[in-house]
């Protein structure tokens, strides 16, 4: 019992000191990157809303009320209703879930695949590098949205198809950046030392090149989240995104909302403001991450 009390008395102050140091570090980081801190708070807010959407919704996002079409915001419907009488507040919070889900998984798949291809291309070199870079050049010849449109039009509508189509647009940029990182890292002394002791190329790539190249990967992922959300909204606006009746911010801007913008402006302003706010927040947060991790910008 005495040993347990001594252990708790020793551990609790250490945990408190670590928590205080963490708060001081977060405060110092927020003061040095105020816009990034604001963007981070907004992103966390939208993520919490998306995670707890079933708990904070007032109505089902797909329930139709034929007696309340295109109603303006009121105490009954906080953000109004759409042309089918569906509650816009519920559709907005569930639309946030769709947008963030698509953004996170498309960034994870596209950036990871492109980054690994670039590392392999830069480290191996030779014919492998030549073939992969020509493939990347061909993908870079297409604008990202046009490439996503071409990919999603090949498949049948579905959430997984949209994620795959958007993830393809992030592969070439990630591959081009990671190739430059691999070309720089493979000239370091620790890589030569690993080869001398008999490490295989796969081991050198996975144990030495990949861990030391994570900073550019995190920067690419954080900066690309806003672009992924905007691409998903664009595809949904064109009718090639998440199929109805699933709520999507981009689809809310099309159809009836587009033709009756003056008669029911809330149907356009609310989803448009949500897209703008979330994309701006992720861009601010991504710029802050870039400034923190990039040694050339760290002291700016």
Mean pLDDT confidence for 80-101? 87
The pLDDT value recorded for residue 104 is 93
**Domain count across the chain:** 1
Backbone φ and ψ for 158, nearest 5 degrees, come out as 170, 155
The pLDDT value recorded for residue 109 is 93
Is residue 140 a part of any domain in this protein?
yes
Instruction: Work out the pLDDT band at 7, boundaries 50, 70, 90.
Output: very low
Is residue 25 a part of any domain in this protein?
no
- pLDDT tens figures, 169-188: 999 999 999 988 888 888 88
Is residue 63 a part of any domain in this protein?
yes
Q: What is the 3-state secondary structure (H, E, C) of the chain?
A: CHHHHHHHHHHHHHHHHHHHHHHHHHHHHHHHCHHHHHHHHHHHHHHHHHHCHHHHCCCCCCCCCCCCCCCCCCCCCCCCECCCCCEHHHHHHHHHHHHHHHHHHHHHHHHHHHHHHHHHHHHHCHHHHHHHHHHHHHHHCCCHHHHHHHHHHHCCCCHHHHHHHHHHHHHHHHHHHHHHHHHHHCCCHHHHHHHHCCCCHHHHHHHHHCHHHHHHHHHHHHHHHHHHHHHHHHHHHCCCCCCCCCCCHHHHCCCHHHHCCCCCCHHHHHHHHHHHHHHHHHHHHHHHHHHHHCCCCCCC
Is residue 186 a part of any domain in this protein?
yes
pTM over 0.85: no
Region of poorest pLDDT, from 132-141, 214-223, 290-299: 290-299
The pLDDT value recorded for residue 106 is 93
Backbone φ and ψ for 156, nearest 5 degrees, come out as -75, 155
Is residue 21 a part of any domain in this protein?
no
Instruction: Work out the pLDDT band at 296, boundaries 50, 70, 90.
Output: low
Please state, for a pLDDT cut of 90, what percent of the chain lies above it. Answer: 16
pLDDT above 90 (res 125): no
The pLDDT value recorded for residue 25 is 53
Is residue 4 a part of any domain in this protein?
no
The pLDDT value recorded for residue 276 is 92
The pLDDT value recorded for residue 63 is 81
Q: Report the alpha-carbon distance of residue 164 to residue 160 in Å, rounded.
A: 6
- pLDDT tens figures, 242-260: 887 788 888 888 766 667 7
pLDDT above 70 (res 299): no
- pLDDT tens figures, 43-53: 999 999 999 98
CB 244 within 8 A of CB 251: yes
Helix axes 88-124, 126-140, angle to 10 degrees: 150
Is residue 289 a part of any domain in this protein?
yes
**CATH code for position 84:** 1.10.3720.10
Range of the domain at 171: 33-293
pLDDT above 90 (res 105): yes
Is residue 14 a part of any domain in this protein?
no
Q: Across all residues in the chain, what is the average pLDDT?
A: 81
Please state, for a pLDDT cut of 70, what percent of the chain lies above it. Answer: 86
């Amino acid at each position: 019992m005495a040993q347990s009390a001594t252990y708790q008395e020793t551990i609790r102050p250490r945990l408190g000191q670590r928590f205080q140091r963490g708060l001081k570090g977060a405060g110092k980081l927020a003061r040095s990157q105020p816009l990034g801190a604001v963007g981070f708070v907004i992103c966390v807010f939208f993520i919490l809303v998306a995670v707890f959407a079933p708990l904070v919704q007032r109505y089902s996002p797909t329930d139709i009320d034929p007696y309340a079409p295109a109603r303006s915001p009121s105490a009954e419907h906080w953000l109004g209703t759409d042309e089918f009488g569906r509650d816009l507040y519920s559709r907005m919070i569930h639309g946030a879930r769709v947008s963030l889900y698509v953004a996170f998984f498309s960034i994870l798949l596209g950036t990871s695949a492109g980054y690994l291809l670039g590392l392999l291309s830069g480290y191996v070199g030779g014919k492998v590098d030549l073939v992969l870079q020509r493939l990347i050049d061909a993908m870079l010849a297409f604008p990202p949205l046009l490439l996503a449109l071409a990919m999603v039009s090949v498949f049948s509508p579905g959430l997984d198809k949209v994620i795959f189509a958007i993830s393809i647009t992030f592969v070439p940029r990630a591959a081009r950046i990671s190739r430059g990182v691999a070309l720089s890292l493979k000239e370091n002394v620790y890589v030569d030392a690993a080869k001398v002791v008999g490490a295989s190329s796969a081991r050198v790539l996975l144990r030495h090149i990949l861990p030391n190249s994570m900073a550019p990967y995190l920067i690419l992922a954080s900066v690309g989240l806003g672009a992924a959300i905007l691409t998903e909204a664009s595809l949904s606006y064109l009718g090639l995104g998440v199929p109805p009746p699933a709520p999507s911010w981009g689809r809310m801007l099309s159809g009836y909302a587009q033709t009756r913008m003056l008669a029911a402006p809330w149907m356009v302003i609310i989803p448009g403001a949500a897209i703008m706010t979330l994309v701006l927040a992720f861009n601010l947060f991504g710029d802050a991450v870039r400034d923190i991790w990039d040694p050339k910008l760290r002291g700016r």
